[in-house]
Amino acid sequence: MRITIEHVNMIYPTGKQALHDISLTMESPSLIGLLGPNGAGKSTLMKLLVAGLLPSSGDITVDGEPLVKCEQALKAKLGCLPQHFGLYDELTVWQFLDYMAALKGCSDSRAAIDEALAATGLKELRKTRIRTLSGGQRQRVGIAQALLGMPEFLIFDEPTVGLDPEERIRFRNLFSETAQNKLVLLSTHIIDDVQSVCNRLIIIDHGRILFTGTPEELIRQASGHVGVFPCAASIRRDSGLHITSRINTAKGVLCRGVAKTLPPEAEAAEPTLEDAYLYLITKEGQ
Ligand SMILES: Nc1ncnc2c1ncn2[C@@H]1O[C@H](COP(=O)(O)OP(=O)(O)OP(=O)(O)O)[C@@H](O)[C@H]1O
């Protein structure tokens, strides 16, 4: 599957321009991390991709065909976990998935539900009413319904919200396995979720693409802009320095920070993906 977005603008009826001239290509198999601060335009972009919104201008094509013409065909191949996902509280997990499988038109709903329950570790909770589930368990049900029928194109908006660290690791592995032969788009604020599993990152801010490439390429861009220095170091006002952590050492408190120009006292440090993301976002914000 290949999705092409060309010069897409999205202006809401309020006049708010949420996306500015976005052009991108996404192709399976891949696991793409979509990152950006609050209000960057991530959900808007995902709504456009599932034809939940129409762009104000620009084109979106799926395997060369305009999305508006193949919307139904795309929906048959799509699994989606939106950010605000409503569950039917009075149904059991199984009943809910059965209902969702019917809406999706799964040909063998029993097998599809069993597979989704197994992938999300929900087998034991299949007879439990949704209203009695914890936040993390509800989120797993949301992920399970997206996986029903193992669609070719999966979109997850903040899928690990409410999951504990162990579950997050489990889902990271699940997304990575799922993406072996599919197109998976994962929107998140949690850098750890994309670290090591996503083969491509798309970073947007204020509705504009700031970066597309591999995590390694992003880290490379921050090389020489991450350092450790005494917290009292002389800091140039125009350096755009952002402190990422403070470390208590025998020599006093040291700061780790990212900046276009590091303080002269700074010792260069190896950037992490989080440093590189922060550097990109803050550099562009200046
Ligand atoms: N229905 C709407 N009408 C008007 N403006 C909207 C609407 N939905 C979103 N916006 C605005 O468009 C911009 C992008 O919003 P969007 O929800 O796409 O961002 P996001 O990156 O998903 O944010 P978050 O990470 O906080 O969910 C924001 O300024 C938001 O206020």
* Same structural domain, 85 and 140: yes
Phi-psi category of 199—alpha, beta or left, where left has phi over 0 and alpha has psi -120 to 50?
alpha
Please tell me the residue having the least CA distance from ligand 1 atom 4.
12
50-62: string of b/e by CB count within 10 Å (b at 16+)?
bbebebeebebbb
- Considering the domain architecture, whether residues 79 and 136 belong to the same structural domain is answered as yes
For ligand 1, whether the C-beta of 179 sits within 6 Å is no
Distance 21 CA to ligand 1 centre (A): 16
Neighbours of 154 (CB within 10 A): 24
Residue 265 and residue 174 share a domain: no
Of 192, 218, 244, the position where a domain reaches its end is 218
Mean pLDDT value of segment 119-139: 92
Query: Do 140 and 30 lie in a common domain?
Result: yes
**8-15 average pLDDT score:** 97
Residue 261 pLDDT: 86
The residues that bridge with 34 in the sheet, in sequence order, are 187, 202
Q: Is the CB of 52 under 6 A from ligand 1?
A: no
Same domain, 125 and 236: no
Q: pLDDT tens, 158-216?
A: 888 878 888 888 888 888 888 888 999 999 888 888 887 899 999 999 999 999 999 99
| CATH code of residue 181 | 3.40.50.300
Does 237 have pLDDT greater than 60? no
Please give the distance, rounded to the nearest whole angstrom, from the Cα atom of residue 11 to the centre of ligand 1.
11
Considering its fold, how many domains does the chain have in total? 2
What per-residue confidence (pLDDT) applies to 125? 95
| Domain enclosing residue 101, as ranges | 2-218
Distance, CA of 285 to chain centre: 21
Ligand 1 center–CA 282 separation, angstroms: 20
**CA of 20 relative to ligand 1 center, distance in Å:** 13
Give pLDDT, residue 18: 98
Give the atom of ligand 1 at the shortest distance from the alpha carbon of 14: 4
Mean pLDDT of the chain: 90
CB of residue 40 inside a 6 A radius of ligand 1: yes
**Is 122 found in the same domain as 92?**
yes
Q: What is the pLDDT of residues 26-45, one digit of tens each?
A: 999 999 999 999 999 999 99
CB count, 10 Å around CB of 151?
22
Interface pTM, i.e. ipTM: 0.98
CB 247 within 8 A of CB 254: yes
CA 83 to centroid of ligand 1, rounded, Å: 12
**What is the predicted pLDDT for the residue at 234?**
61
Q: For atom 12 of ligand 1, which residue has the closest CA?
A: 18
Q: Indicate whether 86 and 37 sit together in one domain.
A: yes
Q: What is the mean pLDDT of residues 82-87?
A: 78
206 and 230 both lie in a single domain: no
Question: Which of 13, 37, 71, 4 has its CA nearest to residue 284?
Answer: 37
Spatial strand order of the sheet with 2-11 comes to 17-27, 2-11, 57-62, 65-66
Query: Token pair of 92, please?
Result: 């059991």
* 38 ligand 1 Cβ < 6 A: yes
Neighbours of 258 (CB within 10 A): 27
Confidence of residue 285 (pLDDT cuts 50, 70, 90): low
Residues 260 and 131 placed together within one structural domain of the fold:
no
Which pLDDT score, from 0 to 100, does residue 212 have? Answer: 96
